[in-house]
Amino acid sequence: MSIKFKLMLAIDLLVLVAVLMFGSILYTSEKTILQRQIRSNRENVLQSLANVATESLLSDDSTLLISYTADLKRIIRELEVAYVAEGRMILAHTDKKLAPRPLPLSYSGQRVRTLSDKLLVRSKLKATEGRNISFSRKRVVVNGRAYDVAVGYSDLKVRANIQATLESVLVRIVRAGLSVILAATLLALWFSGLMIKPIRKLIKAFAITGEGDLNYRLKDTRRRDEIGVLNRDFNKMVDKLKELDQLKKDFVSSVTHELKSPIGAIESYLDLMSYEVSRSAKDPGSWPAKLPRFLENISFIKQNSNRLLRFIADLLDAARIEKGKFEILKKPAQIEPIIQDAVKLFQERARASGIELSFAALTEKLPQAHLDAERISQVLVNLISNALKFTPKGGKVTVTAERSGSLIRVSVEDTGIGIPQADLGKLFTKFYQVPGGRNNVVGPKGTGLGLYIVKSIVEAHGGRAFAESSGKGSRFNLELPV
């Protein structure tokens, strides 16, 4: 069942309940009002009969009273019987035959005195076929004599009258209720359509994005309701997806480059060397002069195959970290010699690039720590090589180590291009490379795995790795527990 239909149904049900409630309240109040009205009408009729009786008794003219009483039944439909009596003497009666004569009936109109009266009343009762009659009575006193005034109504007729009135009320209520429900249905259709429209748009957006088009965005982002939030979040999600997609593309291109580049270089050297060899075959005398170049090329080939091996080792490390199978072997060790060795490894490259690379222990005697020396060395090699890569000629790379409470802090600081604040946190994520950062590097660009491995190694030691940058150069810190 669609949301639109459900919404419509819910609105309709709600309106139906409201209509029923208001309808029943209206019906009961209408009924009460009707009953009250009948009662007061009866009082009025009784009162006017009493007035007419008083007047006619005062003027000693009974004709008015007799015709008035007889007419009552014609005028008021529910009225069954009315009479005015003095003691047992009937002065006026709706049935002209009964007046004036001695009262044959008790006040209730039931008890009978004489046989002829009995017959008369019985036929009377028969005529009304046992319909119950309720009486209202009043006593008036004229010239010191008391008279009884009474009007009797047929319960059945009264009830039928009430019933008929209430039925018409009910019809009116039902008619109004039905039109309200109809209006509510139309309104609900329009309203649920209005509510569903943005959801439909969202469904479409999801479908388009699901097909792989990451450029589709929802426009209705300024709404202040949940749909607005949903639209904004959807756009944010697609932005993020696009970012990830770009990251993936960058990764693929950097991995391809990182694989192709050294292999291409090795092949180029080999092609060059075999070309030289074939040329030397024609001119054997030139061979000794070419030999040093040859040896140099072999060392370049070696460098490239090392670069390839390092890259593969990085990929394997990353895969181990992913699987949670990355293990380190901690032993008590001094960190200072490890740092010195790593720095020494890069001295020549630093000199060649015109960068000053130095190490300083800021705390005199660094304590022993539980380390996997090989892995910590890997971390330092990574950080120093990064620092050299991003530092221009004439710059400085400074490695420091100090004790800070129960921690040893090692920092690698450079005077390179620095890192935007927004990227500092993401640096240690797998395959992340600062956008545009690669463009500042001459030679191998790296794969975005180095810092991810650095972080994992340091965390496996129970320490932490973080980067700082002031815009002018950056500083990578390792904190290892003593």
What does the binding site for another protein look like in residue numbers (CB under 8 A)? 257, 260-261, 264-265, 267-269, 271-272, 275-276, 293, 297, 300, 304, 438-444
Q: Quote the CA–CA distance of 397 and 383 in Å, as a whole number.
A: 10
Give how far Cα 360 sits from Cα of 197, 203, 336, 366, 376, Å: 67, 60, 10, 12, 17
Q: Which helix (H) or strand (E) holds 296?
A: helix 287-323
Scan for tokens 């009408």, then name that residue. Answer: 41
* CA–CA separation, 202 and 196 (whole Å): 10
Q: 348: buried, middle or exposed (CB in 10 Å: 19+, 13-18, 0-12)?
A: exposed
Q: What's CA 8's distance to the chain center, in Å?
A: 20
Nearer to another protein, 5 or 275 (CB): 275
60 phi and psi, to 5 degrees? 55, 35
Count the Cβ atoms, other than its own, within 10 Å of residue 92: 28
Our CB check for another protein shows the closer of 120 and 441 to be 441
Tell me the backbone φ, ψ of residue 35, rounded to 5 degrees. -65, -40
Q: How far is the CB of 444 from another protein (least distance, A)?
A: 8
Q: How far is the CB of 300 from another protein (least distance, A)?
A: 6
Question: Cβ of residue 277: shortest distance to another protein, in angstroms?
Answer: 11
How many beta carbons lie within 10 A of that of residue 93, not counting itself? 24
Measured between alpha carbons, how far is 322 from 86 in angstroms, rounded to an integer?
Answer: 116
User: In whole angstroms, how close is the CB of 243 to another protein at the nearest point?
Assistant: 22
Between residues 22 and 294, which has the closer beta carbon with respect to another protein?
294
Pick 339 or 417: Cβ nearer another protein: 417
User: Which pair of tokens denotes residue 463?
Assistant: 């320490």
212 vs 292 by CB, closer to another protein: 292
Q: How far is the CB of 255 from another protein (least distance, A)?
A: 13
CB closer to another protein, 260 vs 472: 260
CB of 340 to another protein, least distance (A): 28
Residue tagged 């015109």 (tokens): 354
Q: Pick from 54, 47, 34, 42: which is nearest to 80 by CA?
A: 42
Considering beta carbons, is residue 245 or 271 the nearer one to another protein? 271
Q: Smallest gap, in angstroms, from Cβ of residue 301 to another protein?
A: 9
